[in-house]
Amino acid sequence: MKFDDYHIDKRIKTQLRELGFNRPTDIQFKSIKHILDGEDVMAVAQTGTGKTAAFVIPILDQLIRDKKQGVLRCLVMVPTRELALQIDEVFKSIGKELNIKSLALFGGVEQDTQIEKIRKGIDVLITTPGRMFDLISQGVLKVDQVKHLVLDEADLMLDMGFAKDIIDVQRHIPKKRQTLFFSATISKKVKKAAYDLVRNAIRIQISPKDFINKNINHAVMSVDMDDKRFFLENIVKEYPEIKIVAFVRTQVRVERVVEAMKRVGIDSEGLHGGVEQQERFDILNRFRSGDNRLLITTDVAARGIDIPNVELVINYDVPDDPENYVHRCGRTGRGTNRGQALTFCSDREEELLKAIEEYTGQEIERFEISKGEYRYILEDSDDESDDWQSLIDRTNKEEGTEDQW
């Protein structure tokens, strides 16, 4: 089936063709018709499968048919500011030829500009809970005519402590509405939240055999904790034209890895929860545009952020939560694109790796590297701040070899 076969506004079809969208993904195929029919939907699908367009396309069509301009009729609740902006961009790109106004609303920035846009009239609001409830309490934001409520990345919202906000929003919006509940994973907590919201919902679950998208080749390499920076340097210099996202465990380690890359002449930027909101947006925009090709980040960028053409994800540190491994890898191989994910695993992280394999139900492919190759990567670094002979001696001792290879 093609998008042209759906009973949706021809301007939406034209724009989808312009964007290169011809056929729906599995989650889109199974969701769009039910949403167009006004049914509640509870959908679970992997990251990178096209969940956002699955609700944006039919909602835009319904808003056009409703013919109420500048009245807030669609409320999309999300866990992060970055995701709010991303979904807003999807509404604007697919609805480019429509007179539908959308707004991404979130805290951490001046509210006056946001209030001004709300007062001028909007049709769609994509929002994090804090700023939304703040403006409702101020009497600025009216949600009493909302016809479509969407919860996106619902599992992450619950993990971040927004369960009460999900319940509270129902006191402000009409009982007679369409509710769409989208999640990357399913659990008892997620199910309970969903059933508290939806009514006789169509349940959709895209359950592939592999947790990791089939478009992604993922592997693990044994690397000593102190040597990871040299291996990252080696990969970046070997593939200078590709976009790479490297995930580390903490904010402090983000800054250290950025500094280590700087010492060897590699430009990178660090993203974590301690970075000011506007700077976070700027960093992501520079990465999207290709002005920066190496992003060092914590798991703040593991969920709900769609960055086009990321060719490689590096798990510089093995994640503590096995689920985050899936989400990290999902930053590449988006849509129909192919992607690669490589994990640097030290001896002390082997237990974390086993937990990931138990969670996904499959062994991760081992990328074998010879002792000679390992030593070459250490010697080839441009970092002159270390005693190279001691590094090599340490490696030889660990491998049980002499300084002859």
Each residue's pLDDT tens digit in the chain (405 positions)? 899 999 999 999 999 999 989 899 989 999 999 999 999 999 988 767 789 999 999 999 999 998 788 899 999 999 888 889 989 999 999 999 999 999 999 988 889 999 999 999 999 999 999 999 999 999 999 999 999 999 998 888 887 788 888 889 999 999 999 999 998 777 777 778 777 788 888 999 876 555 677 788 999 999 999 999 999 999 999 998 999 999 999 999 999 999 999 999 999 999 998 888 788 889 999 998 999 999 999 988 777 677 778 999 999 999 998 888 988 998 898 767 889 999 999 999 999 999 999 888 888 999 998 999 999 999 989 887 655 445 445 444 444 443 332
User: CATH number for the domain including 91?
Assistant: 3.40.50.300
Within a domain: residue 292?
yes
Within a domain: residue 377?
no
If asked whether residues 67 and 188 sit together in one domain, one would say: yes
Within a domain: residue 177?
yes
Within a domain: residue 373?
no
If asked whether residues 59 and 83 sit together in one domain, one would say: yes
pLDDT at position 212 is 73
If asked whether residues 221 and 196 sit together in one domain, one would say: no
The residue out of 146, 171, 205 marking a domain boundary is 205
If asked whether residues 173 and 223 sit together in one domain, one would say: no
Distance CA 3, CA 11 (A): 12
If asked whether residues 243 and 181 sit together in one domain, one would say: no
If asked whether residues 39 and 112 sit together in one domain, one would say: yes
If asked whether residues 184 and 276 sit together in one domain, one would say: no
Cross-strand partners of 295 = 245, 269
If asked whether residues 48 and 179 sit together in one domain, one would say: yes
Within a domain: residue 298?
yes
Task: Work out the widest C-alpha separation in the chain, in whole angstroms.
Answer: 78
If asked whether residues 34 and 146 sit together in one domain, one would say: yes
Within a domain: residue 399?
no
If asked whether residues 230 and 281 sit together in one domain, one would say: yes
Within a domain: residue 391?
no
Q: Look at the alpha carbons of 102, 103, 104, 106 in this order and tell me if their dihedral is positive or negative.
A: negative
Give how far Cα 41 sits from Cα of 31, 96, 110, 178, 269, Å. Answer: 7, 26, 35, 8, 39
CB atoms within 10 A of CB 362: 13
Distance CA 322, CA 76 (A): 28
Distance CA 55, CA 150 (A): 8
Distance CA 399, CA 405 (A): 12
The residue out of 205, 240, 256 marking a domain boundary is 205
The residue out of 173, 205, 237 marking a domain boundary is 205
If asked whether residues 198 and 337 sit together in one domain, one would say: no
pLDDT at position 1 is 83
pLDDT at position 393 is 53
pLDDT at position 250 is 93
Q: Which domain holds residue 73?
A: 3-205
If asked whether residues 233 and 181 sit together in one domain, one would say: no
Q: What is the pTM of this model?
A: 0.68
Distance CA 310, CA 334 (A): 8
Distance CA 199, CA 196 (A): 8
Q: Which helix (H) or strand (E) holds 33?
A: helix 26-36
> Virtual CA dihedral for 109, 111, 113, 119, nearest 10 degrees?
150
Distance CA 343, CA 240 (A): 19
Domain count, the chain: 2
Within a domain: residue 384?
no
Which residue stretches of 312-369 are H helix? Answer: 322-329, 350-360
Distance CA 310, CA 287 (A): 9
